[in-house]
Structures are given as C-alpha cells and as structure tokens.
C-alpha cells in the first residue's frame, strides 16, 4: 500500500534515526537499522518533536519540542490526529518513544482487503487480532467488512483502539474489544471450539499479560502459533505473523505446524504454505528502511 501523503510519510532516515510526518507534526526519533547516512540532511530542521534516547522502548529517553515548533511540548505530548487511508488515528507520544501506531504494518492492508473481499461471498469473515495494540489494522479489516476480535493485554491500548474507532466513525462495526493475555484467550477459544478465517498477531519480543504473565517470543511463540492454527475454520485465509524480533524461523514454525497436523491426522504433513514478506517503510527518496519481516501460513489447496 502506497504511503498516504495526506496523513503519514517517512521523510528521511539515517545515522540511527528516522524523520516522519504524522498528520501536521514532524517527528525525529531513533530507528533500528537506519545506519546509512541521511539522504536529506536539511529536512531534519523541520522536526517539531524529538525523542532523545539511544533506542526505542528502553524507557530512558525523553521528548523535546524544537525551536521551530508552533506548539509547546505539553501540547504535543497531549496528542493529535493523523488520517490515513480513511481512518482517523490518535497519535500520543509515549515515554518509550512510540506514538501508538506502526506504519510499517500498513503495507499489508491491501493483502488483507483482497483476502477479506474474496472470502466475504462465502460468509462472514471472522478475524482474531492478537497483540492488537491501538487498533489501526483492526479498524482497517473492519472497514473491509470483517468481524474482528481485538485482543491486547493493555487496557490503555484497547481503550485507545476504541477511541480510534470513534474518531474513524467505525464504533458500530462488529469489533469485540478484549483486554486479556493472548495465550489465555486463545486457549479459551479452543475450548469453546471457536473458529476464525484469519488470525493476525504482532507479538513483542518481551512483554507481560494483563495479570503480569511473562511473554518471551523465542519460548512462547511456537505453542501460540500452534493454538492459532487450531482455530482455523473450514474456509481459512490463514495465520499472519509480523515481528520486529530477530531469528524467527518461518521454516521452523511451518515444521512445527505440520508435525502438529500430522499427529492429529496422519498423512497431512506438507500441506501448509508459507510466504515470507518484508516489513518496511519507504522514504521520499525511494529508500527502504527495513523494520522486520512477516510470515503468512495458509492451507495448501488440494
């Protein structure tokens, strides 16, 4: 999906940082992987809000407003709106350096729209969105006609998602807002024999559930992916995983799923298709800032 120039753009990146515009505000903050020189050095003078810190999510940095900003720091930290692809999203700077949205995920929106549209004639498209954060992808899928169950362990994130739904005029769409640990929720859905056409998850490397449950991606991802695969309906789109973590092996995950299927139904191994796709942002010069990768698992057509 091409950048929505009215709402968001990656202006430049380099020297460990990225320069982005969200709506009317230009932000300068750290970016892992942005180690090439800046392509447009003069553009960085336009930054109104700057995160001073070595890296994102460490929680040891702080926000500063620039001399060129027409707004005070307190005004900027209270947030503003950004409109992208028909959605109105609330941007609020966090102490971690995050802003409440991950634009690199928006590249998958066209794929979601195509698959949802193709499945709708067969019946309702039920989507389970895990680690769903503030809901931009949830809202996009709901806008395409899907019924989405939005799950995140942080109440603040789920409330933020509800606000984004209201700002976007989508509060009446079939979205279930759930504050819960992803693993516990999926386990309950398996017991209830719930089924979904699509499961989407964007797990962090490390985190905590609603009641302090520890999450570590290299330990916990495989069993969660297996459980998500068990929620697939008879007419599935598949399971889509995105991750900023390193060393997530698509081959290993597919082998685990195939072994699990073979145990339940001997002779069914080798029937899972895997597609790996990059998560990236493209700046005004056409350069790509790599932001991780994603994996799509689907059942091979027989």
242 Cβ contact partners less than 8 Å away, ≥ 6 residues apart: 105, 108, 201, 202, 279, 292, 293, 294
> What is the Cα–Cα distance from 134 to 131, expressed in whole angstroms?
9
Q: CATH 2.60.40.1180 in the chain, residues?
A: 8-91
| pLDDT attached to residue 266 | 58
Distance (Å, whole) CA 143 – CA 197? 16
Quick one: pLDDT at residue 91?
A: 98
- Using pLDDT thresholds of 50, 70 and 90, give the confidence band for residue 3: very low
pLDDT number for residue 2: 46
**DSSP type of residue 61:** -
Q: Which CATH number fits domain 8-91: 3.40.50.1460, 1.10.10.10, 2.30.30.100, 2.60.40.1180?
A: 2.60.40.1180
Mean pLDDT, the chain, rounded, equals 89
The larger pLDDT score, comparing residue 249 to residue 12, is at: 12
The residues of the chain that CATH labels 3.40.50.150 are: 103-299
Q: Which helix (H) or strand (E) covers residue 292, if one does?
A: strand 288-299
Q: How confident is the model at residue 81 (pLDDT cuts 50, 70, 90)?
A: very high
Residue 165 Ramachandran class (φ > 0 left, ψ -120 to 50 alpha, else beta): alpha
| Contact predicate 299/236, CB 8 Å | yes
Task: Give yes or no for a contact between 239 and 199, defined as CB atoms under 8 angstroms apart.
Answer: yes
pLDDT in tens, 133-189: 999 999 999 999 999 999 999 999 999 999 999 999 999 999 999 999 999 999 999
Res 55: pLDDT: 72
Highest mean pLDDT range out of 125-134, 212-221, 264-273?
125-134
Higher pLDDT, residue 148 or 284: 148
Residue 1, pLDDT score: 46
Q: Which of 47-61, 109-123, 285-299 has the highest mean pLDDT?
A: 109-123
DSSP 15: T
Q: Which of 23-27, 89-93, 243-247, 267-271 has the lowest mean pLDDT?
A: 267-271
Q: Which helix (H) or strand (E) holds 113?
A: helix 109-119
Beta strand ranges found along 85-174 (DSSP E): 87-91, 126-130, 147-152
pLDDT at position 237:
96
- Rounded to whole angstroms, the Cα distance separating 191 from 7 reads 42
pLDDT of residue 301: 63
Residue 206 has pLDDT above 50, yes or no: yes
More confident residue, 265 or 23: 23
**Domain 103-299, architecture per CATH:** 3-Layer(aba) Sandwich (3.40)
- Pairing mode of beta strands 147-152, 25-30: unpaired
Q: What confidence score (pLDDT) does residue 258 get? A: 79
Contacts of 257 (CB under 8 A, 6+ apart): 225, 226, 229, 272, 297
User: Other C-beta atoms within 10 Å of 159: how many?
Assistant: 14
pLDDT in tens, 220-276: 888 999 999 999 999 999 999 987 765 666 677 777 777 777 666 655 555 788 888
Instruction: Name the token pair of 99.
Output: 């802003």
* Percentage of the chain modeled with pLDDT above 90: 69
């Amino acid at each position: 999906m091409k950048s929505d120039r009215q709402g968001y753009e990656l202006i430049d990146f380099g020297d460990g940082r990225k320069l982005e515009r969200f709506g009317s505000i230009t932000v300068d903050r750290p970016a892992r992987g942005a180690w090439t020189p800046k392509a447009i050095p003069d553009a960085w003078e336009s930054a109104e809000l700057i995160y001073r810190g070595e890296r994102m999510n460490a929680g040891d940095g702080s926000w500063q407003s620039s001399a060129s900003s027409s707004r005070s720091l307190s005004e900027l930290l209270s947030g503003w709106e950004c409109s992208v692809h028909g959605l109105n999203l609330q941007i609020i700077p966090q102490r971690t350096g995050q802003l409440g949205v991950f634009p690199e995920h928006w590249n998958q929106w066209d794929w979601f729209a195509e698959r949802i549209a193709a499945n709708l004639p067969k019946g309702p498209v039920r989507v389970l969105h895990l680690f769903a954060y503030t809901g931009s992808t949830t809202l996009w899928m709901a806008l395409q006609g899907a019924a989405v169950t939005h799950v995140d362990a942080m109440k603040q994130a789920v409330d933020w998602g509800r606000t984004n739904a209201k700002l976007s005029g989508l509060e009446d769409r079939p979205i279930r807002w759930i504050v819960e640990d992803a693993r516990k929720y999926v386990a309950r859905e398996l017991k209830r024999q719930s089924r979904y056409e699509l499961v989407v998850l964007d797990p962090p490397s490390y985190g905590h559930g609603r009641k302090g449950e520890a999450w570590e991606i290299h330990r916990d991802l495989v069993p969660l992916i297996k459980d998500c695969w068990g929620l697939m309906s008879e007419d599935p789109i598949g399971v889509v995983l995105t991750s900023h973590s390193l060393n997530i092996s698509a081959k290993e995950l597919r082998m685990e799923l195939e072994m699990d299927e073979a145990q339940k139904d001997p002779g069914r191994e080798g029937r899972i298709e895997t597609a790996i796709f990059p998560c990236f942002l493209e700046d005004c010069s056409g350069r790509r800032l790599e932001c991780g990768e994603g994996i799509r698992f689907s059942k091979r057509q027989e």
